[in-house]
Amino acid sequence: VPLYDLFCRVTGFGGTTQRATEGEADLAAQIAQSAGGRTMSIRFDATTSHDLPWTFKPAQPTDTVQIGIRDLATYTARNNSDVPITGTATFNVEPEQAGQYFNKIQCFCFTEQTLQPGQEVSMPVLYYVDPAALDDELMEGVEQITLSYTFHRANEEGS
**Cα gap 33→69, rounded to integer Å:** 9
According to CATH, the topology of domain 2-153 is Ctag/Cox11 (Pfam 04442) (2.60.370)
Please list the pLDDT of the chain residue by residue as tens digits (159 residues). Answer: 444 444 454 545 444 555 556 666 555 555 556 566 789 999 999 999 999 999 999 999 999 999 999 999 999 999 999 999 999 999 999 999 999 999 999 999 999 999 999 999 999 999 999 999 999 999 999 999 999 999 999 986 544
- SS3 (DSSP) at 155: coil
Closest CA to 64 of 152, 144, 151, 147: 144
Q: What is the pLDDT of residue 37?
A: 77
Which pLDDT score is estimated for 33? 60
**Quick one: which H or E segment has residue 18?**
strand 18-19
Q: Please tell me the predicted confidence (pLDDT) of residue 5.
A: 46
> What residue ranges do the domains of the chain occupy?
2-153
Q: Tell me the β-bridge partners of 73.
A: 125
Amino acid of residue 132: A
46: number of Cβ within 10 Å: 20
Question: Is this structure's pTM higher than 0.75?
Answer: yes
> Strand 102-107 and strand 18-19: pairing?
parallel
At 158 the pLDDT is 43
Which pLDDT score, from 0 to 100, does residue 127 have?
Answer: 94
In this predicted structure, what is the pLDDT of residue 155?
82
> Quick check: helix, strand or coil at residue 63?
strand
pLDDT the model gives residue 18 = 52
Contacts 24+ apart (CB under 8 A), 13-16: 13/96, 13/99, 14/92, 14/96, 14/99, 15/92, 15/93, 15/94, 15/95, 15/96, 15/98, 15/99, 16/92, 16/99
